[in-house]
Structure 1
Amino acid sequence: MLSVELPAQLHRSSQFILRSALPTGGTGKGNETCRRNLAYPRHPLRLPLEVREHVDHDVATASLGGSVKENSIAAMFDRLRGRSTKIHGLLSEFAPPRLLDSEDGYNFVLAQGRVFGVPQSLGPLDLSSEDISTKPGVIVGNSLPEVRMRAVRRAVATAPRIPVTSMLGIPANVAFYGANHPALAPLFSPGHDDDIRVLDPPREVEISNPLIGRLDYALRTFRARMARANVSENDVEAFIDTRDPVSQLLACSRGGIHFFQGAPLTLGANPWMIQIEKASTLFLPFITPGNSYGFDRRVSAIYRIVRALLLSDDCVGIVTNIRSTKRDLPVLFEAPSLAEKTYYLPFFLEPPRPVQKRPRSFLFTSSWHQHEANFYSRGGVDAAMIFAEISKRHRDAELVMRCSLPASLPDSVQTVLDAPNVRIIDQPISDEEMHRLFAEAQFYLLPAPSLHSMSTLQAMANGCICILADSWGSDEYLHDGIDGLRISGREGKNWEYRVHEAFLAERYAGLETPDLAFVQRAVEAIDRLLLDDSQMQAISETARIAAARSNSAEAGRKAFAESLRDIRGRVVRSSRA
């Protein structure tokens, strides 16, 4: 069974009060039929809205025990197309208020002869004694499909741009998702290659019957494909729920090849390709970073879903910056044919401008998204303790930490961060300021249990001496004592590579407290280096040369163009078939 844990703030606890407005007089057959069909209580009915419950439209009962969970976005769009058969046309001003549905932040209520779309954020309301039509966000219409359509339009217009932060096109008509991520932006920088052009994302998606039809077709095709892969209906719907309606509408509104980064945020409405570093991100959000030790592909529903997606003709290419990932994917998914559409494509950087280094200066950064929990997963606790020991031996050492800090830190770590030779930058900074931090730092501290390719590459390109842990994949970037330092202690504790299934299993537990043995090994290696200026200079220059030789933007664009030519050919062959 697929499950995904939602952040606490996403759980709703508001309640909606419906008060009876049923006439007290009259004993006619019509009134009795209405009473029987509605099973409406004479006292206020309180309906919990923590989850999106589906209330049976034939019999609305006083108790919601045993109700059925809403069947994801498919049912929403089924009803948008007018296929619901459970709306009985009780649009009578004499009928009591009736909850028709609760979905995507709205309660759809039949009251006073009209249908109201009421934002759940408004809290409890009494429809029998107040006019709610003027309240913020309330939508009023004559039918459920009409109000639901307007609610979807409003959601599309006001929602963040999903996982789509930018769309970039090239001659293959690739709609690119996440193009402003620093790991991939150099491939799409305008002005470097006439073959690459930048397109702005659409500000709105015009919802139309043809668009709904394309999404409906994509959903039916996806469900059929998963049924052939022996994925249960519940697991399929759980997966669909993680691909939100706005993003799928946007996907259906754009032709061409869609390019995703990290996870396949698609139901297969278009041909698509994906960039990954390690295979486990393909399983997001059901398997999250640092929590993959329990993965067993023999019983994993998300494994079967992703495998079916990757093996479909809709998936036209997989690119990865790690050679071992390219090698391992056909083994992990037990599909030798995956090798034909998997491409090795290293990350690339424009050559940075050399800047004078500050002696004994250390830099630590968290990831691009700057989530505070990333301080732990990037090894921030051990980085702080390593610097604390170094600064005792070298009083002129200084540390810059570009990160958002957790609200609560161990006392020993907080003491380090409060020191006058430690500077915390927890506010957004420009790309130029970020480049300057790397350019000026002499050492880059990244004792994370996992590989962070782009940060490592940026540091090496700027001549920083990287202090990495023995994380999986880091040996593809850095060679201990030659172009940086790799400190042992993470392998076996925080990750293991399962050779028989070619899978990287990770667990980040314990990173909230210092690993004193690891810290001591790092301090000794750094201290030896600080006492040898010539070796420091040699490592710095070797790192700079290695990054320039293997990761130039010009070579990256050329390699990407070559892979796209192959991918275009695959799309053409698939369409002909």
Structure 2
Amino acid sequence: MQLGRRDKIPFPESYNGFRLIRIHGRVHAIPLTAQVERILRTPGLLDRHPAVLAAPTLDEVKRLVDACDPRAHLPEAVAKVAGYDIARHRGVFYAVPENAGAIDLDVPADRQRAGVIPGVSAEDLERRVQQIAAGAPVEFAGWLPIFSVSGNCGQHPQFKHTGNPPDGYRFTRSAPPVTAPQAAPPGAGGIVARTRRLCGKAGVALQKLWYAGRSALSFVFPPKGVSLATRVAVLVAFVRLAALLIRKGCKPGAVLSFLQTRHLQSQLLLGRQELVFLTSMPYTFGQNPWVIEIEDVTTLFYPHVQNGHTCGMALAESPYFPIVRALLEADHCKAVLTHMRSTAELIPALFKSEIISKKVVYAPLGVRLPERWQRHDPRPGDEPVNLLFINSWCQVPENFYVRGGLDVLEAFSVLRKRYPHLRLTIRTALPALDDHYLRIIEGGWVRVVNRFLTDEEMAELHAGSDIFLLPAARVHIVSLLQAMSYGLAVVGSDGWGMEEYLEDGHNGLVVRGRHGKASWADPEAGMLREDYEFTYTPDPEVVAGIVEAVSRLVEDHALRRRLGRTARADVRDRYNLDAWNRGLKAALDRARGVTPAAPERTAAPAPTVREPGRAVVTSGGS
């Protein structure tokens, strides 16, 4: 059979109301009713969006499209209640703020950004919305653009608790609708970079002048939707804060740098609010009264001081120290909330300010208790025992080291020879690793999951595991509490903060070797000292500790079961959302000048203790 010239068959752009695209070895069909361009330009969203159909071939995708009900991708309006639209989508009810703009209910980040409330029924949501609507508004500022370049901490699961506000409050989000990213002026970035390289120090000064001038233009040409009154209010706050810092003796250069890192456009978008809730970093000019939630004192100085580099630093000698102290002492700072007792004790020692000390509120963090969990039921001795290691939420490959990833691989290379039925899952984006570690992974029984996982997939991963490994440089609170809530037997480290929640032999096992090397609290200086360099090579003490702890748990099923069940019970009784909300309410009440009501008598009271000049301490219960 002879073949000659033949016209190329074009790949169709659409089919039966769906946009077709062939990428990464699959054919995808996106309903035209969805936000097609956004799905295509957002990394990973094409693969995980529920409305997108995918198959290996065009014919198979066409069959999926033909069998699909296009109405399944559209929310069904149910009711309007107190400023919320209640809709049913994919079997779940949602209450969507009327001012949320165009959002995609299939995208968790959209729901979180807009303050969407999920529920099991329309009636349940109506009751919750009416209760929330009666509460005092608190603007959750985690959506500000500046947070997206600060580890995206505003979207961290730690702050999911804002979806369940304490009694008497409601969290609002004034985020503008998501739009396509604005392109920089052609060549502008390259010109500035080349000028800096050619002119050395003069180029650095020119670059700073460029950024300062560009920021100043934001007052004249603000982001869309920013009113003149907002511009005036932000400008007044900017000048007032600069004058305060100079008057307090702060260095002018440090003041200018600090104010620039507050990100003028974010402050303009935030506008004027009754009360603002900030996450981790005090990104504000003080135009609004604010409360901040932090894990450690270092993030108060970000980006001028960063975690992992404070082991030999004299923070009190930093030019940014008097700036942060003045910011926290100012009247617009109403409360500093922390879930770490160590941090609540370090802040007064660091700043030596009675004003700041009285603003500190401590309460242990709480998480939801999942319905499905690891019960450690008896099973044959040769059945697999599953170890789980998870990188940070933002999946930065370098955080693999800080979490103790190298120590986990070294320990597993020993353990798998001892226990052939042992399995390891590492959910991480891997950094560039030496061949030695690649051979450990390739040697078998190591599963690497380096893609985005939905909440349901993460739940499946946890509930199907037996032992959770977190030999990290320091505490990672959400990962730790989630593992405990699923009833896993946790093997943690003695890094800073870990043992506030993980008690050796009670609800987990603690491996020694991090304290005093990778992290430790310095009560005299009031600092969290960290040196992450120790995690870039395996620590023999930590590796040996992991091997010993895991061996105990593999050989002693009763111990594994007891630790896992005690960990889950501790989340149920101590580290739950109700206990956390009592602390959050104490901080918000303080911000609004509300006198706390007398606590009701209950079987497990959560007392609030205030000592003169000391922090507010809210217990998490028994």
TM-score band (shorter)?
0.5 to 0.7
Q: Please say if 1:353 is aligned against 2:371.
A: yes
* Whole-Å separation in 2 of the counterparts to 1:355 and 1:330: 40
**Per-residue Cα deviation, 1:410-431 (whole angstroms, up to 9, x for no partner):** 2222222234311111111111
Q: Letter of the aligned partner of 2:576 in structure 1?
A: S
Tell me, in whole angstroms, the C-alpha distance in 1 between the residues paired with 2:280 and 2:112. 14
Please report how far the alpha carbon of residue 231 of structure 1 lies from its aligned counterpart in structure 2 after TM superposition: 1.1
Cα gap change, 1:259/1:194 in structure 2, threshold over 3 Å: closer, same or farther? Answer: closer
User: Which secondary structure state, in structure 1, belongs to the residue aligned with residue 250 of structure 2?
Assistant: coil
User: What corresponds to 2:228 in structure 1?
Assistant: 209
Task: Give the Cα–Cα distance (whole angstroms) in 2 for the partners of residues 165 and 292 of structure 1.
Answer: 33
1:483 has 2:507 as partner: yes
Between the aligned partners of 1:257 and 1:167, the Cα distance in structure 2 is 17
AA matched with 1:183: Q
User: What's 1:537 paired with?
Assistant: 561
Residue 100 of structure 1 is matched in structure 2 by none
1:196 is aligned, of 167, 170, 173, to 170
Residue 456 of structure 1 corresponds to which residue in structure 2?
A: 480
Matches within 5 A, 1:516-535: 516-535=540-559
CA distance in 1: counterparts of 2:534 and 2:502, whole angstroms: 25
Residue 200 of structure 1 deviates from its aligned partner by 5.7
Matched residues in 1 for 2:306 and 2:112: separation?
21
Instruction: Give the whole-Å Cα distance in 1 for the aligned partners of 2:341 and 2:452.
Output: 33
What is the deviation of 1:273?
0.8
Q: Secondary structure at the residue paired with 1:196?
A: strand
Q: 1:309 to 1:167 in 2, by over 3 A?
A: farther
Give the structure 2 partner of residue 284 of structure 1.
302
For residue 553 of structure 1, the aligned residue among 551, 564, 577 is: 577
Could you tell me how far 1:541 is from its partner in structure 2? 1.1
- Aligned partners of 1:291 and 1:508 also within 8 Å: yes
Question: Which consecutive unaligned segments of at least 5 residues does structure 1 have?
Answer: 1-163, 572-577
Partner of 1:299: 317
Indicate the residue corresponding to 1:376 in structure 2. Answer: 401
Letter in structure 2 aligned against 1:269: Q
Query: Given that residues 186 and 350 in structure 1 are in contact (C-alpha distance below 8 angstroms), is that contact kept between their aligned partners in structure 2?
Result: no
Length, aligned pairs only: 406
Match of residue 182 from structure 1: 157
- In the TM superposition, residue 398 of structure 1 has moved relative to its aligned partner by 1.0
* Runs of 5+ unmatched residues, structure 2: 1-110, 116-131, 143-153, 178-222, 377-382, 596-622
Q: 1:399: Cα distance to partner?
A: 1.2
Separation in structure 2 between the aligned mates of residue 359 and residue 484 of structure 1, nearest angstrom: 20
Q: 1:310 Cα shift?
A: 0.7
- Answer yes or no: is the 8 Å Cα contact 2:140–2:173 preserved in 1: no
In structure 2, the residue matched to 1:143 is: none
Decide which of 124, 137, 140 is 1:173's aligned counterpart. Answer: 137
Structure 1, residues 494-531: CA drift from partner, whole Å, max 9, x if none? Answer: 12332212211101013222112320122022212321
Counterpart residue type for residue 395 of structure 1:
P
User: For the residues of structure 1 that align with 2:526 and 2:241, how far apart are their CA atoms?
Assistant: 27
Name the counterpart of 2:457: 433
Report the Cα distance in structure 1 between the residues aligned to 2:457 and 2:317, rounded to whole angstroms: 47
Say which SS state the counterpart of residue 534 (structure 2) adopts. Answer: coil
User: 2:22 is matched with which residue?
Assistant: none
CA distance in 2, matches of 1:353, 1:505: 38
Equivalence for 2:249 = 230
Distance 1:348 1:359, change over 3 A: farther
1:460-475 maps to which residues of 2 (within 5 A)?
Answer: 460-475=484-499
Asked if 2 retains the 8 angstrom alpha-carbon contact of 1:489 and 1:518, the reply is yes
Residues 1:526 and 1:371: Cα distance change in structure 2 (over 3 Å): same
Q: Deviations over 1:181-208 (max 9, x none)?
A: 3212134238x96853554622364234
CA separation of 1:362/1:200 partners in 2, compared to 1, >3 Å: closer, same or farther? Answer: farther
Question: Normalization by structure 2: what TM-score?
Answer: 0.62
The equivalent residue for 1:400 is 425
Q: Give the superposition deviation at 1:345.
A: 2.4
How far does the alpha carbon of each residue in 1:152-202 deviate from its partner, in whole angstroms, 9 at most, with x for none?
Answer: xxxxxxxxxxxx973659833211133643212134238x96853554622
After superposition, residues 317-396 of structure 1 pair within 5 angstroms as 317-356=335-374, 359-396=384-421
1:267-278 correspondence to structure 2 within 5 Å: 267-278=285-296
Q: Distance between the aligned counterparts of 1:457 and 1:449, measured in 2?
A: 17
SS in 1 for 2:536: coil
Partner Cα distance (1:193, 1:419) in 2: 53
Letter in 1 for 2:140: F
Question: In structure 1, the residue corresponding to 2:337 is in which secondary structure?
Answer: strand
**Paired residue secondary structure (2:158):** coil
User: What letter is aligned with 2:410?
Assistant: M
The superposition leaves residues 45-67 of structure 1 with CA deviations (integer Å, 9 ceiling, x where unpaired) of xxxxxxxxxxxxxxxxxxxxxxx
Matched-pair contact (CA < 8 Å) for 2:226–2:269: no
- CA distance in structure 1 between the aligned counterparts of 2:525 and 2:292, rounded to whole angstroms: 21
Name the % identity: 33
Aligned to 2:568, the other structure's residue is in SS state helix
User: Cα gap change, 1:274/1:195 in structure 2, threshold over 3 Å: closer, same or farther?
Assistant: closer
Aligned-residue CA RMSD (Å): 2.4
- Could you tell me whether the CA contact under 8 Å between 1:364 and 1:444 is conserved in 2? yes
Q: Measure the CA separation in 2 of the matches of 1:556 and 1:303.
A: 30
Q: 2:200 maps to which residue?
A: none
**1:465·1:536 contact (CA, 8 Å) conserved in 2?**
yes
Q: In the aligned structure 1, how far is the partner of 2:231 from the partner of 2:168?
A: 35
Q: Is the contact between residue 187 and residue 560 of structure 1 (CA under 8 Å) also seen in structure 2?
A: no
TM-score, scaled to structure 1 = 0.66
**What is the CA distance between 1:459 and its match in structure 2?**
0.6
Paired amino acid for 2:428: C
The question of whether the paired residues in 1 share the 8 Å contact of 2:136 and 2:169 is answered with no
User: What is the identity, as a one-letter code, of the residue corresponding to 1:386?
Assistant: A
Q: How does 1:482-521 map to 2 (within 5 A)?
A: 482-521=506-545
Instruction: Tell me if 1:260 matches 2:285.
Output: no
Query: After superposition, where does 1:124-139 map in structure 2 within 5 Å?
Result: none
Helix, strand or coil: the match of 1:455?
helix
Q: What is the rounded CA distance, in whole Å, between the counterparts of 2:174 and 2:442 in structure 1? A: 43
Aligned residue for 1:255, secondary structure, equals: coil
Deviations 1:264-288 (A, max 9, x none): 1112121111001111111111111
Q: Matches of 2:555 and 2:513 in 1, distance apart? A: 24
